Structure formats: C-alpha cells, structure tokens
C-alpha cells in the first residue's frame, strides 16, 4: 500500500524541479558536439546539401516544435489556404535574415506554400533553434544558421544566402538591416532585380530612413515595425501576459499584497499594471508626463516620486525607455529582498553599473537572478542584470509572433505584386487596409464574428464597407518613439 | 419603544423615494412664476440692473451650488491663485455663450479673478441653472439667460451681451457657434478689436473650419474640442463612470450576471465594457473594425454579430456613432424585459422610429423610461427614447467639466496674450504643452506627484524637461470623427 | 433651423434634472389628500370594502409597478406555475406584516395563486407604497396600510388583520415580530390553529429565540433571516451593487482616482471594495481581525489605521457593525470636501452626535446630504446623517428581494404541509435543501444550466444527486452576528 | 560594431531557454553519484555523523536556498525573536517526518531556536531537496532523508529518527501519519513520554480520528490541516497565483481571449476564475450546486453544462474533487489544440485512463505535456497526465508554506506547554485565537496595521480586545471535505 502511495504521489517538490528541466530534455544538442557546422558534410534525406545547420538529424524534433507553433498561427495557415491556388509569390525569390525559430519556420513554409523560393540565415548569433533549422533544411529550404555562431560565421552565412550560383534574390526580408547592409556593400547589383525590402526592426528601419534621406535607397522598403497591429498588440498585451510570468519563473514571488512601483505609464507600463493589480499587487506609478499621470490616477494608481516610496516597495519595475530611472541612491534605500527589474528598453533604465562596486557582493542565486548584498547584509534581487525581463526570463506568446509574421508575409506579397509605380524608392508603412486584414486573419482564433456595414451605414459614416476603418496616420510611429516610455522599440534588437 | 422605532427607522422605501426628490427641493423655481424675465425689473444688492435672469433672489442658493462645484474644480482655483498677481486677462473683455451651470460659473469667476470683464449668455434654451445665473448676476457679471427661453429670447439675450454701450468685446468664448454667427451677421466691425475666438463644440468648430476654408475667418480661433485631455478623458472615463449610473437611475437593474451586448468597441464602448464587466455583467461586443475587434478579444470579450445573441441579451447598448445599429427586426427578437439604450451619438443608433407603429403600445413607466409592448405582451425597455443615456439619465462628473473649463481658460489667456503674428486668421489646436499644463493642474486633486527629468535624461530622450512630452499630432481629431464610433463629438451639441 | 435645434437637443442639464424628478411624477399622492384612510369609505371595483388604503383609485398605477417587479422575480412566477395545479397552500389562511411594496405584492399574489387566503398589514409606518396597497386591495386582498401611519394606526391595522369575524389565521408571516407580539398579547387562542410562524428580521428572530428559551413559544417558527441565500447574497452582492449608486445619487462623485478608506473587511466591506476598486478608486482598509486583514492584503488593499490616512482620504465608508468607528477627532482631521458615510449597521458607526455642537454649522445641501462646516470653512460631506447609505440613498435590486420573498414562500409551504411532529415548538433554520431550491429557482434568470451528478459520481462524493450539497451548518448565523462587522442583520429593521 | 551588438543583445530566444535550465544548474547532484547514502560514511564539519543525506558537501548551496526562503517567512523569524528569551520549547525533543525543503528547514531551525532538539526524516521518497538536507545536517540537526529513497530506505530513515540511544522524543510532527504509524507499531512505549502529535495532512488526520474513535489514541493530537488560515488562504489565493503559472510554464499560452471552462466553483475554482478573467480569458463554469452556481452568475460567469460548450473551448480545467468530470466522450468532442488540466484533487477528475487506448497516439512534447492524437490528426494537450497542475508544473509561494509552518510551530508550542488536562487523548483543532495569531504574524509582511478595539467598542461587540474575533466553528473542516470541490485536502498527499 505504501509503495503505491509513494510512487504515484504528485509530489510537490520533485515534480516542480522536473518541469523546469524540460528544455534541457528537449534541446539536447547544446553540449554534444563541438565541431563547427561549417566543417561538417551533411545531406538531408532528399540528397541536398545546400544548407548549413548544427545537425540535420535533429529535424524530426524540430518538426514537432513547428507543428506546436502552427496551432497558434492559424492566420498564416489560413493565408496558405486562401492564397494557395493563386500562388501570389510564384516567382518570388526571397532571401531572409531573421531569428530562426519555430514561429519563423511557419512563416517560411507559408511563403513557400504561396509559391516563393527562400534562402534563410539568422539575424542573431545566439537565437537559432538548431532543431528548427534542421527541420527547414530537411524539407529543402537552404538554411545557414546555428546557435553560437562566431561573427565570422554570421557574415559567412549571410553571404551563402545571397551569393548563390544560379539563383538571385528579388525580395529581401530583414530584421536588423545586416542582410540589407551586406547586399549594399558586396552585391549592389542585386538591387536591380529586387522589388522590395521588408524590414522588421527599429534599427533596420532607422537605417532605411537614413538611406532614403541620403537618396541612396534604390528599392521600395516596407516598415512593418510600425504597423498598427504590432504597436497596439505587442506592447500592451504582450507585457500584460509576460510580466507575471517573468517574475514567477525567476523568483516564485506571490503577487497578492505586494507593494510594486512601476516607473512609466505608457503602453508597457499599462500592461504591467493591469496584470499586477489584477493579481492583488498594490501598484503605484511614477511618470514625467502629466497626461499619462492623469490616466494613471483615473485608472486607480497613486502617482508618486520614486524617492517617496522606495523604502516600502517589494518590487520595482522600469518601463520608461529612459536611462538611470533607478539610481544607485535609490538602490541603497531599498528594503531587504526588494526585486528590481526592467520591462522598458535596452539595459540602462536601472543603473546596474553603479552596483558593480567593491563594497557590494554579487551572488548569482539562479540563472538571471542576482542577489546584490550590501555591507549590512541587505539584499536586492536584480533580474536579468537589468536587461528586458520578459525577453530574458519569460516566453513571448506565439500568437503575438503570429501577428508579426503575418504582417511580414502580407508586406512581401504587396511589394512583389504591386504594379509598377505604386511604390517608389522610399520607406512605406503597411497600408491601413492591410493592417486591418492582418487583424481580421487573427479573429477566427477567437471565433470572433465581425459585423458588416450596410450600404446605408457605410454611406452615413463615409466609409468603404471593407475598410479601411482607420485613417492612415492612425498609430503614428513617432509617437511610440517618444514619451510613452518604453515600447517595442529596441525590444527585439538592441 | 415602538414609537421611537418607527420614527427613527431608516426605512428602505420611504427614504429611497425621498432622495430622488431632491432636485425638486433644491431648484424650486420651476413652477412658481410665469412672468418672462424680460418683463421684470430686477436689481442686485449692489444696485446694478445690467442682467436678465429668472429671479435674482435665488442668488444665495446658486452660490451654494457654485461652492459645491468649486470643490471638484481645484484646477481653476489653483489657476486663480497662480495668475492672480499677474492678472493675465487684465484688459480682456470676454463675451461668452455657453451652458450656464455651476461649473461654468466657476470658470467665469476665474476669468474675472484673472482680470477679465465678462458678459454672458446661454447657448441652449433649456440648460440654464436659474439660481446659478442669479448668483453670477448678484456678483456683478451681466448674465442674460434663463431656463425655458423662447427662440426670440435666445437671440435677444445674445444681442444684449454684444450690443452694449461703452463696452466692446475683444474675446469670444463660444459653444455651438451661435454667438460667433450673430456677431458676423450683425456686428462684423466688432472683429476689428477681437483677438480671438475660443470654440468648444463640434458644430462650432466645423463652422469655423468652413469660414477658414472660405477665407472668411477674420480672427484666430482655438478649437478646444479636440484637445488631448478632452478627447482622452471625456470618452473612456466619463462613460465608465456614467453607464452604471444611467442604468441604475432609470431601471434599478442589478448588474451581476446580466447578459449585455455593447455595439462598438471604441473609447466609449471600452469605457462601458470596463465598468459593466467589473460589476459582474457578462459582456459581448459587436464591431465592424477588425482592429477594435481584436482588442475586444484580447480584453476578454466575445465578438459576435448582434443577430446571433439578440435573443439572450438582458441589455443592449449602442456606442457606434452609426445609425440603425439596432433595427426593428432585432427589436422584434429581443426577449421580454430587455433594456435598450444608446451611449453613442445623436439618437439614430437605435431605430426608434420603427417602434412608433400602430401594433406596438408605448407605456411611459418613469421619466426617460418607456415600455414598448408587443401584441404578445413582450416588453422592451427603451431608455431616453434612444438619445444619449448618460446625458439624459445620469450626471457628468464636475471633474470632467473642470478639464474642459480649464482648457477654455488657458485658450483665452493664450490668444489674448499671444504676440502679434503667432496666430493667423486660422483655426488652431491648443499647443500640446498647454494640454499638458491642463493635465498637470488636475494632478493635485489626486495628490499625484510628477517626476522631473534630470538634464541627462532629458537629453537622452531628446525632450525639454518641461514638456511637451507628446508630439503635436498626438490624438488627432479626425481619428475620433471616424470609426471609433461615438465620442464626445456631438455629445454636448447635436 | 435654430428653433429645431433648441427643441430637440439632448440637453445635458435640463434632462439631468428631469430624471431626478421622476418619482415625484410617479407617486403623486403624497400631498393631495390629508384625510386619514380610517375616515374614508372606499370600495373596490368588485364591491369589497374589506381593506384600508390611502386611495383605491391608485390601483392601476400600482399594478404597473407590480408588473415591473414581476420581471425580476421570475423565481416566484415559476413557483406559481410549478405548484399551481397542486395548490400546496390550499386551506392556508396567512396573516402577514411586512413592508408593502411591489415586491411584496408579487409574493402575496404568489401565495394566493398557491391556494392561500391572505390578510396583510405593514411592519413600518413609512414604507408602504400606497399605489401597490391599492392594487392589492383592488384584486381582493384585504390590505390595511398606508404611508405615514400614526402609531395608533399601526396597531389598529394589525388588529384589523387578525381580529376578523369568520376568518382565523393559521399561518403568520412576520417581519419584526410586531404582529406575533400582538397575537401573543391580545389573541393567544389564535395559536391553537396556527401551524407556524415565518420571521424575516433579526429583531423578530431574536424575540422568537427568547420565547423559545423561556418555553413560551407555542408553535414552530422558521428563521429565514439566516438562510444561506440571504446571507451569502444580500451582503456581498447587494453592497457591491449599491455603494456606487448611493454615492453617485447623493454626490455625483467621480470614482476614478479617489482615495477611499473602508472600515471593516467583512462581506459588506468586501462588496464595497470590489466595486470601488473596479471603478478606479484607490482603496485602503481598516480591520480589527487579523484574518480579515490578511484577506484584505491578499486582495490588494493596504491595511491601515484610520488615523494614519484620515487626512488624505476623499471618502470614508464604515462597514463594521461597531460603534464610534469614525470619531469626532478623526472628523476634525479630515480634509475639505471629504465624504463620510455608513454601509454597516444602525447609525452609530460614525459619531454623528459629536458633530451636533455649536462651533459647527450644518448645511443641508440636498436631501440626505449635509455639509458640516468647521470654523475655518472646512466642509465634511455627511450622507444620510450616518444611517445606512444604501437603504437611504440608493435602491435595492428586485432580484435580491426576490431571493428573500421566495424563501418566505417556501418556508410557509414547508411549515403548512409538514407532517405532524416534524417541527416542534422551536425556531428552525430553513433546511439546506430548500435553500438550494431557492437558489435553483433563480438560476433561469441567468440562463444558467446546472450539471447533474452521475450515480457513480454521487456515490464517490457521498452525496444525494439532488442535494443538499452543503451540510446544514454551512453559513451559521452566529458568525454573522459577530466580527464580520455589519451585515444584513439590522438592515431592514432598526 | 556588429560584434558588440551580437554579444550584448538580449536575445529573445537563447535567454528564454537559458532560464529554464536553471534548476539543472542549481541542483547538480541528480546524476553524479549512484552510491546509496546508507553505504557512505559522512561527517559534518563539526565532526558529527549522526545523519544520513545524499552529500554533506552540498550544505553551502542548501544554506543559500534556506536564506532565500527566510525572506518570505518573516513570521517564523519574528517568532524566533519574540520567543527566544523564553525558549518555550526548551526540553522539547521533536521527531519530525515531513517534506524536507528550504521552507521546512526554516521551520526546523525555528524550533531549534526556541529550545527544541529535533530529529527529522522525509514523508515522501521523492520530495527531499538534498542540498537543504545537507545544510541541516551540517548545522547539527540529525536528518535522515534523500531524494529517491526506496521504500526500505523510507522506513529505515524513520526508524533511525525514533530508535536512538540516549534520546527519546516527546513531541511528534507528522505529515501523512507514517511516523505516527511506525511508533504505534514498533515503539508504543514512546507514547508514555509524548505530550502530543501535530499532524498536517488529510490522510494523517483521518487516521488520528479513526484511532480516536476506536479509543486507541493515547496522546492529544492537533489537526493543523483544518486551521482557518490554511483553509482560507491555501485554496483561493494559492490557486489564483498558480493557475497562470502552471499553464504558462507548460504551454506558453496567451490568456487574452481564450475560451476557458472551469468545472467547479468552490474556492479553488473561484481562485482560478479570478486570475484567468483578470488576464483576459473568457471563462464559463460548470456546477452541480445551485448556491455556487448562483455565485458564479453574480460574479459574471456563464454557468453551462460541459457538453454544451466543449467544442468551443481552448482550455478545460477541473476543480471539483469529483471523478470523471471530463469523460472520454467529451475529450472526443474537443477541438484541435484544446488544453486539459486538473486543479482539483488526486488524478481522477479527467478520465485519463480512457485515453490510453490503441486508436490514440500519445506524444510527450515536453515534460508534463502530452499531445494525445486522434486518428484524424486532432491533438488534445494533456498536462501532468491529469494530476494536480499547480503542484506538478508550477511552484507554491513560500508565503503560503510559511502560514502552514507557523501554524505547526504554534501547535507544537501549545501542546508542549499546555497545563495537564487541557488536552485529552483526542484530536483538536487549533484554538481560533492561535489561528488569528498566525495571521497576525504574517501582517508585517504587508506592512499592515491592525486597528485595536477600544474598551467601549469591545464591550459593544461582546468581544475580547485581543480576540478571538471568530467563533471556534468558523471554517469547519467538513464543509471543505464536501461539495466545495477540491481544496487543499489531498493536495500535499494523495
């Protein structure tokens, strides 16, 4: 009898530890093989060797991850179905440089399903999911990427995508501008055939605007970073979902009754505050902007100066987009056990540098969790060394990535199919109508049913029945660059 | 013993009825005197007779209402204090045409405290609080207004404000454009001295833009209807506060567990949904715009077509800005006891006209509450005959009116003091910095403390330490004119 | 053109005042007729004069109010339908003494529909809705009650119900114990035929327990005050619904950002806090009981001493069941404009007596709203002179009254039909199964569908498939008498 | 430049994976050493070998975990301080059998600080944190426990605690009853000196009640499982905190807009629903009990039958305490990707057995996450094979464990110091006053300040100023055993 009990018990502690091991169990390749992929000869089951990944044998595991991702990316799946007969990307030769993850794989395979040929490389030397890269290579997409590339590897991979005999790209999908930069620098003649660039990141968009300003942009470019769906959904909802997750995974904190100060009440701050308040935390706000401050008041948050409350706080969260929002002086005044983290941008919001001084002891208690110990024994709990908490310590919902990926796909289709002259050599925002189309493709996920305007109503409102329902300047990028605080800018790139 | 009990009891029902009588007790003049104010000779205690109100003897009661209003309008009181030494309106001669209420009186008395001379009339024949008008007249402000004016009275009052011997206006504060229209028509020479017009309403703003377009606008005009603070706070928060109040006062409905459909998920719809969900209603949404629909999904509301759910609903609320959103066919399908009301704009969202047909019986059960009875005995409860619920059946918080009044005061100060040439003969939005100043004046109400940027931080953000923190195109009026649905536009005027 | 505009405009202010008049418009009899009903000869349209109400001609208006109430009392309507064939109260002669309102009328007419004969009087000299009493009298129920009875009238009415030739009551429905007291005192022999007493109020229940303890209770009595449905729903949900309503109707306060302290975190306090927090107020709590205090913490409220926060508060609400929770000293320290009110019990929670001193000026600004003015001009806004806010200044949802009325009906049926010996001469709580039956009768209002246990599941849980699902001691009355603070106890009676 | 970028980037994906590795990094001993601890000779730095743990060298790491736990267990730390002079456990010889975790270590070290001598063993063969056991052994507490004991090891360890030369226990702290059982069976004479047993688990409490009923209980026993603080806080708040965490860690699900059905609206269900609704899920409820169903309605949840909604649901969560609440038939009807999990008790709520049939394919996609694949390709995502989600896949906040540990410490002090005759040979609940004391010890965590009754108020309420404020029968265990569904019962033991 007892034997059975001990075997079947849902033991609190053993299982808790188990679950946290799982990625170790899943992604087993990290330590097994030190050979550089560039030195390996690999062939997929179809006989092709036009790829370079860590280990083609991991393809099956990667396929499973892709299938899981597909479940929350039904917008792309639906796009495949709607456009499959038509093949709107037939003839497109897309070279891509993005994070290579299960979600990206769903995008790439959608592009292929729509008729495109793709070659792909990674925009970051660490972010490649090797198994996913293997799965893509196995199905015949030439992928050049692995986790832990050197910088030399990084440019070699990009080059292998672009510089291919018998294949020349006519579309570019970039995330960060490195691919575009390489083509500009090494193979400028490629641009003669390229119909357009789709760019995802702030950094890349910034470079494109500079090129445009300098009169050097030689093809149309689409700025998808500033599309409505990305801006409206990434910040508010993504932070609402991830702040709790990031804090729990690192500290196992109980939210009920915790005193929390959130610095900045832009979209990111609003998302964090909504979630924390809902789970029973007592939240107050710091703001520089009286309009955001008044919103915080009306939403039921006390608006304070950080120095007024710092001694009482259990958690301090920065969401400002500014620097040195939490200073050493304030860190000195925090109470024992106070948790400090950043949901804003880059890693300057908390003055972490000031903590690297001889009188303070750093103790790494868990991955991404440091105790900073003062001479009197007081500990402050610093998460992710002040980098973005949600990217460092939680996951980003596939659904949000689906919105981005769908926007990229539509931007590619638009640029590839646009009649001569619709787009000049300039940087464009996605037309509002396509933004709305991206949103509408995600509604079936929620079994949401849109109402259609009657002719009479459309006339009364002065709208087309099929949209756009918002004017083109709705959600203007510059707004997000500024006082709202943090935001997605800088989130997916430094 | 029993005697005491019965006398002191907080009886549920008797007192409930008492409280609802109070305005009758407070505003006692409605039926007492049928003489037209134009035919009465009245003198205030200072010997002046330069006014025309219902009954100067009501001044004391009106003063009390003004004092109550002052408690929630501390921004204006604070403006009085800050600017009192300086007298920024010294020399200003303001003629005003607005609703005359306790809140307006606080504005007028603020203008006077800042150095202005004022003459005032009503922009609406019904909205004057006679006691407040009396209180203003008693302190020496020439007021020409009473509740229940004829149209002839209306224009006579305006004329008495403008056409005064020995006094010529140099500033106009208008709400609806009637005053401006009258001056254009009758006394165009007045504009030679006028430094500017401040206009509150959609209608009036629309007329000004038309004048401007036609090249006929001969002084600068400030559009305060579209200021950020008004747009951002009026819709979301005002509707969040008033939807519950409007429903309770008319129907005594219990919110818990009620099935509610809200048509339109713009700012007004968001405000309504937030409040209703918070009090335990089960809310679903209809939308035409996929982006708003996706927001509704993420916020936890089912997005449906009205026809799919109409049979189950306990309450139907329109917030669309559109017409015939609730049709006769849908009214036919509602269940017995369903409540139907409008929080959007004008009175066309519910097809009320279709209910005025012989087979249906209307029964007025309370003021603003009609039972429409179908031949089979089914009753639908229609509130305010489909006009705006919150304006018809609830109150608007003084705090919201304070934001508007403060904005008007600042606009007057700005136009009156602007150096030659800053403003041309055009229609202007309030500079963003002044919008932020309005917000900041309201923060002390909440004991809110703003954080100030350090020099280093301001430089890092590319901002001036004192703002503006938002670019000028933040909150663009056209956006609000469109698909978001209703909004303040048209709320305070038809 | 302008004429039309002014006539059709949904004017903010005029309509606001209109709506608040409506009860005056509806209940028109208050001032019209000073003759005592006892001195009038009245006959209903069926020729009966066995009643005494204010004015039998008001019957039609009262009937409309009853019909409105029926819409939210579908449990009783459904009880009528289910039990109509069976007539479980055939032969019952019920004498009742309760508030006489539209909701009570629905109860009485249900009892009649189930076969009972009823005679009715009021338990409170102020609470009778004259029109409803007339409507009941018109249909043949002998009602003896009007609003504004003298104490002599009160007992005369009770006597007319009991002391009737040719009719002797065999059931008593009492609310406060006055009817029971009268029968004990004047007509003790009536108890020979009485099968049971159903008592609603704390006071009445207390008297019954005393009689029982003294061995003088000569029939079974049912305590419906302490039924689960009443206790669980009245306090939490009723206060959640009414706190906002009570504050709005008296003060038009905006909730967003208001600093509120709620004294007591029992069920009443929890209900208030939930609603206020949901609408954007910033709420803190005072508590004497560490367990309730810990719940408040976990629910996201700061737990403070009143003296620590009193200076900052915008609103102070007492929900303790205790006395002098807000003292004169604390009233002295409140800021200008602070609103003080009581949601707890009786009228002792705020030390109102201490405010009736010469140095303070009382100014009645609206019905139920007094400004207490300190020598320095500071005003505190006292609502309902410290009596229960929700009973004085808001309405109680019909749905909650439906739960109580249904419980009374079932208690009458149970006592009338119980086999000899099931109930002794003692005070009983409603059997848990009947409590659950009351709940289940209210589920169709929400279109709620209960799940039924399978035989296997019922066996596994050790439960009968039809309930009871809660043990009999669930929700014990004594608990509510104590530290939880306020509660329904004493709510409907002093 | 690029190099720097790639090195410092907060890469989304690489770091996400890193963090999930951390327990692997921290608890490094799982695979390194296969020798049984019983076969090793180990000595701590003080020269003692009276213990048996996995590896005494892990003591330092374990100490750090204990220190982290202390930060959220300030109630115990405060108890140490308050009682340290007095040493209320001087002379106590406590033998304990519980989970051995950092939180337990804080308890044990508190007991030692209060004067007790302790010997300790594990109540579960899997749950021991080896490093913590080492840290305890290092400081001189004889601990006999390691992760992964055999059943023979399990009883050997218990025996080594009890059967010690020169030391005889006079207090027992048990969790599950195995230690008590062993003493009864092997060393009954020990009970002559034992002053009492403190038992934590449902199973152990059940055994004690059986012994008591059979007249075989020979010492007083304290049932701490049913203390108010445990019951009131464990279920509602713990589930509110853990449901989101459990779902995120296993599935990375986005909550916004997800359709969720929660089976059972007891405390556990209420906790789950609160959190899910707050994060934007659309939640409906199934219930068997009309009273809980009515609460769900009033709280804003649709009450449905599972079969009515099963096709639309994204997530199905059981919280009933019943069996086969989710049947194979319902699993067959779920849509592709539906997540199914259990927050109730044991592992029978979902009919997992029915899924182990040949036509279905199980695919383990992550630890604790299985895809069950139907022949048509549909996948259902089953978490933790239907065992308790929060114990299997999330962590339990230290704060909740602190409440339990504090209660255990107080129960030991009470039993050890009770005067002869206060406790007989029976099972007792903790006196209400001590429950309240446990709560009050946790208030400083929240900086909460209790209000004290004045003498006059205490008299008015009929309460002692120092409590108890709740009667003894408040929170009765039987209630929780029944219809409310799940609960802590059975949570920490099967």
Q: What single string gives the DSSP state of each residue in C306-354? A: HHHHGGG-SEEEE-SS-S-SB-HHHHHHSPTTEEEEE-SSTT-SB-GGG
Supply the pLDDT for residue C392: 77
Supply the pLDDT for residue B230: 76
Beta bridge partners of A178: none
Q: Taking a C-beta distance cutoff of 8 angstroms, is the pair C165, C196 a contact?
A: no
Supply the pLDDT for residue D471: 60
Which among B70, B45, B68 has a CA at the least distance from the CA of B57? Answer: B45
Contact A451 B323 (CB under 8 A): no
- Smallest CA–CA distance, residue D282 to chain B, in Å, is 5
Q: Is the pLDDT of residue B472 over 80?
A: no
Residue D84 DSSP code: T
Q: Is the pLDDT of residue B140 over 70?
A: yes
Contact C436 D291 (CB under 8 A): yes
Low-confidence ranges of chain D (pLDDT < 50): 1-31, 473-494
Supply the pLDDT for residue C118: 98
Supply the pLDDT for residue C16: 26
Residue in C closest to B247 by C-alpha: C245
Q: Taking a C-beta distance cutoff of 8 angstroms, is the pair B494, C5 a contact?
A: yes
What are φ and ψ of residue B118, in 5° steps?
-130, 145
Nearest to A494 among D8, D393, D397 (CB): D8
pLDDT, tens digit, for every residue of A245-273?
999 999 889 999 999 999 999 988 999 99
Q: Rounded to whole angstroms, how far apart are CA atoms B197 and A233?
A: 40
Q: Mean pLDDT score of chain B, rounded to an integer? A: 86
Contact B294 A476 (CB under 8 A): no
Q: Rounded to whole angstroms, how far apart are CA atoms B2 and C176?
A: 11
Q: Taking a C-beta distance cutoff of 8 angstroms, is the pair C200, C175 a contact?
A: yes
pLDDT, tens digit, for every residue of A416-464?
999 988 999 999 988 888 889 999 999 999 999 999 999 999 998 888 8
Q: Which residue's entry shows tokens 């170790």?
A: A24
Residue in D closest to B283 by C-alpha: D300
Residue in C closest to D400 by C-alpha: C298
Q: Is the pLDDT of residue C120 over 80?
A: yes
Which among C350, C140, D12, D483 has a CA at the least distance from the CA of A98? Answer: D12
Residues of C in contact with A301 (CB under 8 A): 282
Token pair listed for D472? 């003894």
List alpha helices for B316-385, DSSP H. Answer: 328-333
Contact D124 A11 (CB under 8 A): yes
- Smallest CA–CA distance, residue B481 to chain A, in Å, is 9
| β-pairing verdict for A361-366 and C369-373 | unpaired
Supply the pLDDT for residue C15: 27
- Smallest CA–CA distance, residue A298 to chain C, in Å, is 4
Token pair listed for A61? 């595991």
Q: Rounded to whole angstroms, how far apart are CA atoms B78 and B97?
A: 24
Contact A301 C282 (CB under 8 A): yes
A271 among the known binding-site residues? yes
pLDDT, tens digit, for every residue of D221-248?
999 988 877 777 877 888 899 999 999 9
Residues of C in contact with B380 (CB under 8 A): none
Contact B302 D281 (CB under 8 A): no
Token pair listed for A370? 């440091």
Predicted complex ipTM? 0.84
Residue in D closest to B300 by C-alpha: D280
Contact B470 A302 (CB under 8 A): no
SS3 readout for D180-219: HHHHHHHCHHHHHCCCEEEECCHHHHHHHHHHHHCCCCCC
Q: Rounded to whole angstroms, how far apart are CA atoms C396 and C241?
A: 8
Contact B299 D280 (CB under 8 A): yes
Residue in B closest to D276 by C-alpha: B300
Contact B452 A304 (CB under 8 A): no
Q: What order do you get walking across the sheet with C196-199 strand by strand?
A: C143-144, C117-122, C93-98, C171-174, C196-199, C221-223, C427-429
Inter-chain CB pairs, A–C, below 8 Å: 32
Residue in B closest to D299 by C-alpha: B280
Nearest to A479 among B471, B478, B483 (CB): B471
- Smallest CA–CA distance, residue B69 to chain A, in Å, is 19
3-state secondary structure of B350: strand
What are φ and ψ of residue D370, in 5° steps?
-115, 140
Token pair listed for D486? 């799940």
**Top-confidence range, A387-396, B465-474, D70-79:** D70-79
Contact C469 D288 (CB under 8 A): yes
Across B345-356, b (16+ Cβ under 10 Å) vs e yields bbbbbbbbeebe
Q: Is the pLDDT of residue A4 over 60?
A: no
Which one of B277, B438, B440, B450 makes the best mutation probe of the A interface by having the most chain A beta carbons within 10 Å? B450
A72 among the known binding-site residues? no
pLDDT, tens digit, for every residue of A90-124?
999 999 999 999 999 999 999 999 999 999 999 98
What are φ and ψ of residue D343, in 5° steps?
-115, 5
Q: Taking a C-beta distance cutoff of 8 angstroms, is the pair B96, B408 a contact?
A: no
Q: Is the pLDDT of residue B4 over 90?
A: no
Which one of A1, A3, A16, A386 makes the best mutation probe of the D interface by having the most chain D beta carbons within 10 Å? A16
Supply the pLDDT for residue B33: 66
pLDDT, tens digit, for every residue of A326-369?
999 999 999 999 999 999 877 889 999 999 999 999 998 888 89
Contact D456 C228 (CB under 8 A): no
pLDDT, tens digit, for every residue of C192-220?
999 999 998 888 998 999 999 999 999 99
Token pair listed for A398? 């596939």
Nearest to A254 among D257, D312, D397 (CB): D397
Q: Rounded to whole angstroms, how far apart are CA atoms B224 and B233?
A: 14
User: Rounded mean pLDDT of B60-80?
Assistant: 90
The residues, ordered by sequence, that sit 6+ positions from C118 with a Cβ below 8 Å of its Cβ are: C93, C94, C95, C96, C108, C111, C112, C141, C142
Which one of B3, B8, B13, B300 makes the best mutation probe of the C interface by having the most chain C beta carbons within 10 Å? B13
Q: Rounded to whole angstroms, how far apart are CA atoms C94 and C112?
A: 10
Residue in D closest to B293 by C-alpha: D257
pLDDT, tens digit, for every residue of A258-313?
999 999 999 889 999 999 999 999 999 999 999 999 999 999 999 999 999 999 99
Supply the pLDDT for residue B396: 76
List alpha helices for A252-388, DSSP H. Answer: 267-278, 290-298, 306-309, 328-333
Query: How many other C-beta atoms lie within 10 A of the C-beta of residue D354?
Result: 15
User: Rounded mean pLDDT of B384-405?
Assistant: 85
Q: Rounded to whole angstroms, how far apart are CA atoms D430 and D472?
A: 9
Supply the pLDDT for residue B121: 97
Inter-chain CB pairs, B–D, below 8 Å: 32
- Smallest CA–CA distance, residue A292 to chain D, in Å, is 22
Q: Mean pLDDT score of chain C, rounded to an integer? A: 86
Q: Which residue's entry shows tokens 């309504």?
A: B272
Residues of C in contact with B336 (CB under 8 A): 71
Nearest to D494 among A10, A367, A369 (CB): A10
User: How many CA atoms within 13 Å lie on the side-chain side of A376?
Assistant: 7
Contact C229 D291 (CB under 8 A): yes
Q: Is the pLDDT of residue A46 over 90?
A: yes
Q: Rounded to whole angstroms, how far apart are CA atoms B230 and B480?
A: 12
| β-pairing verdict for C338-342 and A361-366 | unpaired
SS3 readout for D350-415: ECHHHHCCCCCEEEEEECCEEEEECCCCCEEEEEHHHCEHHHHHCCCCHHHHHHHHHHHHHHHHHH
- Smallest CA–CA distance, residue D5 to chain A, in Å, is 7
User: Rounded mean pLDDT of C225-240?
Assistant: 81
Which among A143, A150, A38 has a CA at the least distance from the CA of D2? Answer: A150
Residues of D in contact with B299 (CB under 8 A): 256-257, 280
- Smallest CA–CA distance, residue B457 to chain D, in Å, is 22
- Smallest CA–CA distance, residue A453 to chain B, in Å, is 7
Nearest to B10 among C14, C15, C388 (CB): C388
3-state secondary structure of B164: strand
- Smallest CA–CA distance, residue C416 to chain B, in Å, is 30
pLDDT, tens digit, for every residue of C435-468?
899 999 999 999 999 999 999 999 988 888 888 8
Contact D394 A248 (CB under 8 A): yes
Supply the pLDDT for residue D303: 98
Supply the pLDDT for residue B99: 92
Contact B291 A237 (CB under 8 A): no
Token pair listed for D158? 């218990």
- The chains found to touch C (3+ Cβ pairs under 8 angstroms) are A, B, D
The residues, ordered by sequence, that sit 6+ positions from B310 with a Cβ below 8 Å of its Cβ are: B261, B316, B330, B333, B334
């Amino acid at each position: 009898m007892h034997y059975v009990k001990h075997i079947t018990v849902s033991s609190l502690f053993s299982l808790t530890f188990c679950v946290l091991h799982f990625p170790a169990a899943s992604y087993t390749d990290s330590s097994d093989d030190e050979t550089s992929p560039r030195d390996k000869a690999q062939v997929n089951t179809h006989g092709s060797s036009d790829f370079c990944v860590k280990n083609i044998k991991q393809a099956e595991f990667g396929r499973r991850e892709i299938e899981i991702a597909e479940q929350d990316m039904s917008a792309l799946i639906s796009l495949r179905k709607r456009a499959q007969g038509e093949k709107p990307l037939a003839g497109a030769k897309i070279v891509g440089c993005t994070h290579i993850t299960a979600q990206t794989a769903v995008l790439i395979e959608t592009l292929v399903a729509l008729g495109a040929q793709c070659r792909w490389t990674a925009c970051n030397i660490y972010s490649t999911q090797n198994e996913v890269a293997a799965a893509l290579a196995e199905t015949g997409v030439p992928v050049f990427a692995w986790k832990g590339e050197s910088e030399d590897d990084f440019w070699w991979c990009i080059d292998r995508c672009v510089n291919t005999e018998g294949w020349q790209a006519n579309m570019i999908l970039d995330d960060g501008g490195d691919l575009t930069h390489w083509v500009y620098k090494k193979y400028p003649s490629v641009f003669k055939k390229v119909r357009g660039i789709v760019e995802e990141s702030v950094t890349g968009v910034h470079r494109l605007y500079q090129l445009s300003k300098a009169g050097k942009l030689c093809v149309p470019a689409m700025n998808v970073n500033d599309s409505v769906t990305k801006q409206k959904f990434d910040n508010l909802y993504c932070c609402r979902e991830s702040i709790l997750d990031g804090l729990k995974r690192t500290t196992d904190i109980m939210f009920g009754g915790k005193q929390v100060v959130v610095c900045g009440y832009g979209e990111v701050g609003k998302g964090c505050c909504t979630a924390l308040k809902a789970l029973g935390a007592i939240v107050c706000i710091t703001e520089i902007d009286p309009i955001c401050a008044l919103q915080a008041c009306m939403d039921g948050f006390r608006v304070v100066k950080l120095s007024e409350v710092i001694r009482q706080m259990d958690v301090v969260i920065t969401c400002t987009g500014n620097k040195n929002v939490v200073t050493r002086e304030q860190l000195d005044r925090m109470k024992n056990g106070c948790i400090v983290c950043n949901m804003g941008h880059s890693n300057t919001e908390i003055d972490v540098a000031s903590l690297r001084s001889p009188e303070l002891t750093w103790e790494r208690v868990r991955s991404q969790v440091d105790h900073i110990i003062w001479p009197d024994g007081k500990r402050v709990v610093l998460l992710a060394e002040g980098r973005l908490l949600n990217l460092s310590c939680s996951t980003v919902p596939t659904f949000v990535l689906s919105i981005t990926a769908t926007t990229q796909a539509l931007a590619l289709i638009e640029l590839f199919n646009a009649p001569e002259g619709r787009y000049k050599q300039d940087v464009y925002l996605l037309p509002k109508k396509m933004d709305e189309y991206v949103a509408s493709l995600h509604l079936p996920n929620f079994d949401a049913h849109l109402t259609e305007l009657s002719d009479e109503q459309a006339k009364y409102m002065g709208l087309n029945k099929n949209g756009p329902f918002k004017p083109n300047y709705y959600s203007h990028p510059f707004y997000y660059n500024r006082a709202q605080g943090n935001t997605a800018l800088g989130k997916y790139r430094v």
